[in-house]
Structure 1
Amino acid sequence: MWATMTQFSPDGSTTLIDLSVGLEPDVDSEPFPPEIEYRDHDDGAARLAAHLRELGHDIEAADFPDGHGLASEDLTLIPHAGTHMDAPWHYGPTVDGEPAKTIDEIPLEWCTGEAVILDFTWKEPRSEISADEVRSQLEDLDHELSPGELVFIETGADELWGTPEYLTAFPGMGAEATKYLVEQGIKVIGTDAYGFDKPFDEMGRRFAEADDDSELWPAHFAGRDIEYCQIEKMANLDALPRRTGVPVTAFPVTIEDASGGWVRPVAFVEEDA
């Protein structure tokens, strides 16, 4: 688990809780895992020396202190690997007839605020979360959603990170549940599961059984009617000490005209929370 808890304020009164998973090569929890080529300090010296020679300077790798340059990595990956935010453009070209926002167009104010965590750890894997179930969870919390809050769906699936089961053993949001949250003014919804919808195989099975295209990515495609972003592959929601009023920042990386971007959500928890 990618858990990080660090004292934040000088007096130690605030703890930072990392709500993300990282980028790993060859991990069984990604159908399209990142490819990462690691370059050590010897490689770094050779590469930097070669670049300086191209600029007209006579330098060799051995000229660097201790013969070491700068370590680096070459990455090949999709912006939907690791914890990431999907932009409305991911769901379709338009939202309610208007051009859909790409990740570089997402307002930063959408990505910071107080989070509400809804507990769906009791839901059966491969099942669909309904609007009534979302309303029931909010009633249990005695909480009325406000515009600007972020809502996170806790399934417990992050405990399976690193295994193939992570891809198949989680419940997903339904279209009506998603629309209900957005209609309350919620712009960012997150999940600690691999995907926001049900597992791929379950959607395929339901489509084949019913011959109904509404079984395919219903929560994602709800974003063609209502504007919102979703965060997938979160983690450590169970480490939060309360279910409402949790300050969170979740700013995505800016990628020009892209359907999504990597994000590292962090919760700020006061000592007396």
Structure 2
Amino acid sequence: MRLIDLSSPVDAEFWEPDPVTHEVLSAAEGARHMASEMKEHFGLDFPLDTLPGGEFLTMDTLTLTTHTGTHVDAPSHYGTASYGRARHIDEMPLDWFCRPGIVVDVRDAGTGTIGADRLKEEFGRLGRTPDPLDIVLLHTGASAYVGTPRYFTEFAGLDGPAVHYLLDLGVRVIGTDAFSLDAPFTYVIDQYRRTQDPAVLWPAHFAGRDREYCQIERLANLDALPSPYGFQVTCFPVKVARAGAGWTRAVATLDD
């Protein structure tokens, strides 16, 4: 069995619209912190030289959104649903997130939106249409820019009919190596200014108000997959209670 990591990292040194802070408590600082806690809660003066090298344990404290790094968006992220209560990430069925995958190569699409016809064309080229509950992964090429401002402004996303087309096939998890399953924010706003049509405003996300599905955003290494299908995707989201998204370590599994 071969494993391919499809995840981008959480890195406080990356450029992010919502910057990540990462504070590290060293092993020596951890010892002093533990001794302070022992004194406060148990009245015990704990000599640091009791510990090997005067060290205890390190600790990392991060401040970030659930949309940093590779993550899964829950239906509740999209807003009020027309079909009933939209579920949070901790309520989603696990079997959605361990399924066969199929990659759609749209690296030539540039910056903008991709319609259903382009997806059908690609599936025709592959000679395969996704089965129900297959995980569809968009290979936009955007992961080459991860950590830089370009990552947030240069990629292609799906329009509303494209999302509904995949949902009609029974797909319930759609992934992308880009920052968003929608086109970049700057592109969306320019389209709205030009057309004054509300339908151009984040159609991929807002499709989730009418039908239940999840997105995996900020994938990576899709070009490391040896073929566009014939592999399993595992992308269980972290069980964050009542949250609209959860981080995931997405991995492709292939038979050797």
Decide: shared fold, TM above 0.5. yes
Structure 2 contact 83–211 (Cα < 8 Å) conserved: no
Does the residue aligned with 1:134 lie in a helix, a strand or coil?
A: helix
Separation of aligned partners in 1, 2:122 and 2:109: 12
Separation of aligned partners in 1, 2:164 and 2:151: 26
Counterpart pick for 2:208 among 223, 226, 231: 223
Q: Which residue number corresponds to residue 106 of structure 1?
A: 92
Code of the residue aligned with 2:41 in structure 1: it is L
Q: Which residue number corresponds to residue 14 of structure 2?
A: 27
- Deviation, 1:61, is 3.3
- Deviation, 1:47, is 1.2
Q: How does 1:141-180 map to 2 (within 5 A)?
A: 141-180=126-165
- Deviation, 1:121, is 0.7
Post-superposition CA distance 1:200-253 (Å, at most 9, x none): 111111111111222211100000111100000000001001111211110000
Q: Which residue number corresponds to residue 65 of structure 2?
A: 78
Matched, 1:128 2:117: no
Q: Which residue number corresponds to residue 210 of structure 1?
A: 195
Structure 2: unaligned runs, 5 residues or longer: none
- Deviation, 1:63, is 2.9
Counterpart pick for 1:262 among 225, 247, 250: 247
Structure 1 contact 33–81 (Cα < 8 Å) conserved: no
Separation of aligned partners in 2, 1:240 and 1:78: 29
Structure 1 contact 115–152 (Cα < 8 Å) conserved: yes
Q: Which residue number corresponds to residue 9 of structure 1?
A: none
Separation of aligned partners in 2, 1:104 and 1:197: 23
Which shows bigger deviation, 60-69 or 238-247? 60-69
Q: Which residue number corresponds to residue 42 of structure 1?
A: 28
Structure 1 contact 46–60 (Cα < 8 Å) conserved: no
Structure 1: unaligned runs, 5 residues or longer: 1-13
Does the residue aligned with 1:189 lie in a helix, a strand or coil?
A: strand
Does the residue aligned with 1:99 lie in a helix, a strand or coil?
A: coil
Does the residue aligned with 1:55 lie in a helix, a strand or coil?
A: helix
Separation of aligned partners in 1, 2:85 and 2:218: 27
Separation of aligned partners in 2, 1:165 and 1:55: 50
Q: RMSD of the alignment, in Å?
A: 1.1
Structure 1 contact 50–60 (Cα < 8 Å) conserved: no
Q: Which residue number corresponds to residue 46 of structure 2?
A: 59
TM-score calculated relative to the size of structure 1: 0.91
Separation of aligned partners in 1, 2:83 and 2:181: 23
- Deviation, 1:86, is 0.3
Structure 1 contact 103–254 (Cα < 8 Å) conserved: yes
- Deviation, 1:16, is 0.9
TM-score calculated relative to the size of structure 2: 0.97
Number of corresponding residues: 255
Does the residue aligned with 2:246 lie in a helix, a strand or coil?
A: strand
Structure 1 contact 45–62 (Cα < 8 Å) conserved: no
